[in-house]
Copies of this chain bind each other. A is one copy, B any other.
């Protein structure tokens, strides 16, 4: 398993730098199921998780939401029948911080559990 998921999020200031393209490329190697998308000009990490039904998708949504609340770093989660789509980004810096990649790796781990 990649070490990324073991890292803790650090407090993120509004003037913290977004990841560089080189950092992003390196981090994405540990997140093969995620893609970087642009939403309203803001880079975000996105992955769709598939489930057999609504209840399972809801349970996963709650596991991700509980993790988010623990870390004080909150994603957008789209809950649908058999599907939960998670997007991570850092509101304060309007882009991707290392924290987002850590949270994506931890989301993968929750899915594997």
Contact = CB atoms under 8 A, between A and B. Distances in A.
A62 B69 contact: no
B74 A54 contact: yes
Contacts of A79: 61, 65, 76-79
A111 interface: no
A24 interface: no
B69 A65 contact: no
A68 interface: yes
Interface residues of A, number: 16
Nearest to A55: B69
Contact of A76 (B65, B74, B76, B80): B80
Which of A55, A74, A76, A81 has the most CB atoms of chain B within a 10 A radius of its CB? A74
B80 A68 contact: no
Contacts of A61: 61, 65, 79
A81 B77 contact: no
A104 to B, nearest CB: 17
A54 B65 contact: yes
5 shortest A-B CB distances, which residue pairs? A74-B81, A76-B80, A77-B79, A58-B65, A78-B78
